[in-house]
């Protein structure tokens, strides 16, 4: 098994969807507390919440950039350093789940673990060292959870909508139409390009070199080509179309659009940004070198090397779905997990 062997007694597994662990009543001051862990190619995120008045109230959250998929494009494997970073972050998640007396949780892993030849060995290591039972979900389930988590931010309208999630290792596209409680999924697509994989395919030297605009256009066309079969499923006549994005790329660009000095979820979540503004911001970012991007508030050094690929993917989406505005969601898979777990227990959200 890859990775180090735990030298302390193995912790009890954190509850997953198949076999939820429910602590006795006397140990559980809050009877209904739910947790969601999303381990992506770039980030590890946790959300803990309780049902409240037809929605839920967040009681704890955690997010850390772990770059689990770093080097995966070249080697096909998760590196030791990437796994160590992810296990460290998941250890923090496990501690929060226990301290908050979470009664039911679900922990998912996405594209990096799907693609890596040692993905399942890594999942076993995570269980042994943290107690978290990671579930490697399919692209279809990833798309479903993202829609469930953010669809309430869709702009009102009767026309079709495209909801997308630009991840680290893949991009999920979901075509939906109005439904009773939640939108009906008409078609979905998982493209193999996310901000990490697309950046590595082009190379950081090219993205920051003198011909970086040419590199940006190559990435944009690469992403556009990966959407080509999905584009054939889209309606040719697009009256009243709507567009909603959930990812670090769209929230970061929305922050730049608002000229925020630091990230503010309340200002970004639910924002509608004119498409022309999003294209101008994407082009501006692509023209900057690493130092210039790092100096932009809400980007910084942590995102400066990956944000250009995110812009390229976003523009490729805008090419195939020419909406007038882009809805921005700072919510997605974690919120989708929480809603599905709470609905299972009979809560109306």
Give 174-197 pLDDT, tens digit per residue: 999 987 778 899 999 999 999 999
Report the 10 Å Cβ neighbour count for 22: 12
Question: Smallest Cα–Cα separation from 41: which of 90, 114, 91?
Answer: 114
Please tell me the predicted confidence (pLDDT) of residue 182: 83
Distance separating alpha carbons of residues 274 and 307, to the nearest angstrom: 19
> By the 8 A CB rule, do 302 and 245 touch?
no
97 plus 186 within the same structural domain: no
CATH number assigned to the domain comprising residue 197: 3.30.420.150
182 plus 243 within the same structural domain: yes
Distance separating alpha carbons of residues 66 and 63, to the nearest angstrom: 9
Please tell me the predicted confidence (pLDDT) of residue 26: 34
Residue 340 maps to a domain: no
236 plus 174 within the same structural domain: yes
pLDDT above 90 for 288: yes
190 plus 251 within the same structural domain: yes
Distance separating alpha carbons of residues 99 and 105, to the nearest angstrom: 13
Give 112-150 pLDDT, tens digit per residue: 999 999 999 999 999 999 999 999 999 999 999 999 999
Residue 14 maps to a domain: no
pLDDT band, very low/low/confident/very high, at 16 (cuts 50, 70, 90): very low
38 plus 85 within the same structural domain: yes
Number of folded domains in the chain?
Answer: 2
Of the residues 115, 137, 159, which one is the last residue of a structural domain? 137
40 plus 111 within the same structural domain: yes
Of the residues 104, 137, 170, which one is the last residue of a structural domain? 137
Please tell me the predicted confidence (pLDDT) of residue 31: 62
Domain of residue 238 covers: 140-333
Give 18-59 pLDDT, tens digit per residue: 444 444 433 434 468 999 999 999 999 999 999 988 889 999
Distance separating alpha carbons of residues 300 and 293, to the nearest angstrom: 7
90 plus 148 within the same structural domain: no
Give 190-246 pLDDT, tens digit per residue: 999 999 999 999 999 999 999 999 999 999 999 999 999 999 999 988 888 999 999
205 plus 311 within the same structural domain: yes
Question: Smallest Cα–Cα separation from 16: which of 31, 36, 30?
Answer: 36
CATH number assigned to the domain comprising residue 108: 3.30.420.40
178 plus 311 within the same structural domain: yes
Residue 222 maps to a domain: yes
Average pLDDT along the chain: 90
Residue with tokens 């390229």, as numbered in its chain: 312
145 plus 286 within the same structural domain: yes
Distance separating alpha carbons of residues 51 and 29, to the nearest angstrom: 15
Distance separating alpha carbons of residues 232 and 267, to the nearest angstrom: 35
179 plus 131 within the same structural domain: no
Residue 206 maps to a domain: yes
Residue 349 maps to a domain: no
Tokens describing residue 117? 């030849």
186 plus 274 within the same structural domain: yes
Residue with tokens 């998929």, as numbered in its chain: 69
Please tell me the predicted confidence (pLDDT) of residue 29: 43
């Amino acid at each position: 098994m890859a990775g180090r062997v735990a030298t302390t007694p193995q912790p009890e597994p954190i509850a997953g969807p198949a076999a939820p662990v429910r602590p006795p009543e006397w140990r559980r001051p809050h009877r209904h507390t739910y947790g969601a862990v999303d381990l992506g190619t770039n980030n590890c995120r946790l959300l803990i919440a309780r049902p409240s008045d037809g929605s839920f109230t967040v009681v704890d959250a955690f997010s850390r950039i772990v770059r689990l998929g770093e080097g995966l494009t070249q080697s096909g494997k998760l590196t030791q350093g990437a796994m160590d970073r992810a296990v460290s972050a998941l250890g923090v998640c496990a501690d929060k789940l226990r301290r908050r007396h979470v009664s039911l949780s679900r922990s998912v892993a996405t594209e990096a673990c799907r693609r890596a030849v040692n993905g399942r060995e890594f999942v076993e290591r995570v269980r042994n060292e943290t107690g978290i039972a990671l579930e490697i979900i399919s692209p279809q389930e990833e798309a479903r959870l993202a829609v469930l988590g953010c669809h309430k931010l869709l702009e009102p309208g009767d026309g079709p909508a495209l909801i997308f999630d630009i991840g680290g290792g893949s991009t999920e596209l979901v075509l939906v139409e109005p439904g009773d409680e939640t939108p009906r999924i008409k078609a979905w697509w998982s493209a193999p390009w996310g901000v990490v994989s697309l950046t590595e395919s082009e190379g950081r030297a090219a993205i920051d070199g003198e011909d970086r605009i040419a590199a940006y256009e190559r990435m944009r066309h690469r992403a556009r080509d990966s959407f080509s079969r999905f584009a054939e499923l889209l309606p040719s006549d697009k009256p009243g179309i709507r567009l909603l994005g959930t990812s670090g790329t769209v929230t970061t660009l929305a922050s730049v659009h608002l000229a925020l000095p630091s990230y503010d979820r309340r200002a970004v979540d639910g924002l509608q940004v004119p498409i022309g503004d999003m294209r101008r911001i994407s082009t501006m970012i692509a023209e900057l070198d690493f130092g210039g991007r790092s100096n932009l508030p809400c980007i910084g050094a942590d995102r400066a090397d990956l944000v250009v690929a995110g812009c390229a993917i976003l523009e490729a989406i805008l090419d195939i779905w020419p909406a007038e505005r882009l809805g921005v969601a700072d919510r997605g898979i974690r919120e989708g997990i929480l809603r599905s777990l709470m609905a299972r227990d009979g809560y109306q959200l």
